[in-house]
Structure 1
């Protein structure tokens, strides 16, 4: 087997023990070694003024952690400027909530807010959130930040907060302009805008408006900008090349917003973590906020357990609220391990179908398999022409089947027959069975849902002298990688060039290995 040494890289694993919100994540990165002074200098490059970062050390259930407050316009930790109201869609967000917040805070913020806040948060808080904010918080983010106190709140989801106070609202375009016009590095600007775009798209989808119609309350927007940009700067400053994520931890309960009571996780959060592993341990309150979810889904890769690494630093970021579990998030930083290997065989086109399998940054942890459920649908058929299976295969794949195959068997009365087996998402069982009944001669079908384990994989397109070829890269539990050339690409090149598949596979594999080895 051919093998290439994989360059070791600096990676980070985000352990979302108590969820995630912007300021908690920022606190964890500072706790892991990013300079507070450097962070403040980077934030100053935004040129937004009226914002300052306040860090403090706290002990959460015996664990020392860093707490981060983003104060706007001279606010103190107990007097925040408006909670950010957001206001409808405005919010977008922000939910951010940073969890925490404790809401409960007492603040009563009288503010009036009544907060409707749409959303506001809760996150954590438990919101009943009625925000009355009690919060303590500070926060403006409500974001709940889990602490975050943060302003964010914004959220709101609508938050209408009463507050409006006339505060100015900033849309996605304006926030993007602020970031683009800043003195931040191109990489930081690009990643920060990517996060805000994801947040605006999620809020827009939830409220039925375009991302450009989503607005952030002025204070909530400032708070969220600092959380987002600060996190990106910290990751860049720490030299993190790849970011891996534990499953998102969501809380339970409801939060009160301008639209009334809303379930947790907040609608925008649910939209952002769609397609990502999620766990629920029965904790009451908002654990994962929209801002936190937007940051991680935009920058991170799925990984059910901590990847293999030589650990060099660990940081804890905490929030204000108290839950049944310690309210902190943990970031673990180290140097990755593993090899890149080339394996014989083909990657069938069926295995490349679907959005999940075409994502380039698919859950690529350090070789830990993922588990989910799959429906296994079977039928014994002994009176159907083999030629008629092809259109049935085609139709089942079009409907979303993961695998379709036929095996020879001996049926009743010694007749030769076939065993049709279909693997499909559990949600597709009824649709698949209907198609099998309509397009085959069987009058009976068996099905069940089984657990399955699958290795993480991703697809890369490599330019070769023969043309573009898709390469499937599979991560093994050992940390090694195996690569497979896409069969359909090889077949197309073979037909157009007149080269045999055997010779072509050898030549292209050599080029692919050289190309990939030069990138690692």
Structure 2
């Protein structure tokens, strides 16, 4: 599997991402050709070289001649993307990244997503950085992305909203639940655009269990604009072929037996646990001491979410004790992709198991099947079976 590892040892921004991907082999002329499909004006794309800490890195710039700042709402940007002849991959992932930014901004400013005005991220250079990143990833044939923890600076930064704490509120909100590392560097190491690219496209942080044996094929360095004394202002991208056939991860299993709770509460508890980020929640019928029927509640979660999971169980159930154990889990490689079908565009889960396992199948997403069944008033099972045949034919 063609995999990109983003080594974020100083920070990440949109221009650094494109520079690193071009340095790793993405075609700059192809990038310019694809960006032209947006029919935007008032800028030039410049590619150069920059030496930092004796490392020869690519430097990518969007030079603004004049800034017609007219794409300010998420709907405007989505229309700009959809009206172009960019590939489905680029359209889909670009819109996902912009939505990540929009959701964070909406939460910070406490206004609906559709009313969010994009400022820095709505500027031409940021639009190009996000869409250009997706163009370069597709050009390189990247199937999976991982990263190291995202580095963050300290102090204050200037934005169109005025002085803001560093990292910017949008950056920090975007990176909620993603591994980060705070530094003592008084500089905006990671921008909202860079944070959104990683949070949206990455499958998580790198570890040997996830990627297994890898064969490095290309390495790219992308340079930032400013000199940083404490660390080279560079982003490194490592393109490799991951030989791992099973994804492995370490999770925490939380269990408790309950025999004295109103059964109507169980669905509510499950909903709350999933909202808190649980990987899985399930119930078993059990016979407890004194022959009383009961329920075994089992929750699988990442360790970073354990505290909140425990709080919910104690708050919403009648239990007074929990069993907590670390467990290993392996799973087949999977990702959600969009396909053209007889029912139109449909999202489905692509599952692969490597060469030795010889597993390669596409599973229609249930919610997509239900949507189609409701729209055309046909049995859900018929929709699922037809989609499965089309996607695996």
Is TM > 0.5 for Structure 1 vs Structure 2?
Answer: yes
Per-residue CA shift, 1:411-441, capped at 9, x if unaligned? xxxx89999886573124344335554xx6x
Among candidates 201, 205, 224, match of residue 299 of structure 1: 201
Number of aligned positions between the proteins:
341
Among candidates 218, 239, 249, match of residue 141 of structure 2: 239
Among candidates 299, 310, 318, match of residue 223 of structure 2: 318
- 1:336 and 2:242 aligned: yes
RMSD (Å), alpha carbons: 4.5
Residues 421 and 479 of structure 1: is their aligned pair in 2 closer, same or farther, counting only changes over 3 Å? Answer: farther
Among candidates 367, 376, 381, match of residue 247 of structure 2: 367
- 1:53 and 2:45 aligned: yes
CA contact (8 A) 2:21 2:136 kept: yes
Aligned counterpart, 1:202: 104
What pairs with 1:335-354 in structure 2 (closer than 5 Å)? 335-339=241-245
CA contact (8 A) 1:65 1:316 kept: yes
Question: Structure 1 stretches of 5 or more lacking a match?
Answer: 1-8, 75-80, 82-165, 340-365, 462-469, 484-488, 490-510
Per-residue CA shift, 1:41-99, capped at 9, x if unaligned? 2222322122112222222223221111110117xxxxxx7xxxxxxxxxxxxxxxxxx
Aligned counterpart, 1:68: 60
Structure with max Cα Rg: 1
Scaled by the length of structure 2, what TM-score is found?
A: 0.68
* Aligned partner of residue 123 in structure 2, secondary structure: helix
- Per the TM alignment, residue 480 of structure 1 is displaced from its structure 2 partner at its CA by 6.9
Aligned counterpart, 1:498: none
- Per the TM alignment, residue 471 of structure 1 is displaced from its structure 2 partner at its CA by 9.4
* Aligned partner of residue 38 in structure 2, secondary structure: coil
Residues 11 and 398 of structure 1: is their aligned pair in 2 closer, same or farther, counting only changes over 3 Å? Answer: closer
Question: Structure 2 stretches of 5 or more lacking a match?
Answer: 337-347, 361-365, 367-384
Residues 324 and 419 of structure 1: is their aligned pair in 2 closer, same or farther, counting only changes over 3 Å? Answer: farther
- 1:43 and 2:35 aligned: yes
Aligned counterpart, 1:426: 307
Scaled by the length of structure 1, what TM-score is found?
A: 0.53
The answer to which structure has the higher helix fraction is: 2
CA contact (8 A) 2:5 2:206 kept: no
Per-residue CA shift, 1:186-244, capped at 9, x if unaligned? 43233323322332232223212233323345996211121112111111222223333
Aligned counterpart, 1:269: 171
Distance, in Å, in 2 between the alignment partners of 1:221 and 1:53 is 15
Residues 446 and 284 of structure 1: is their aligned pair in 2 closer, same or farther, counting only changes over 3 Å? Answer: farther
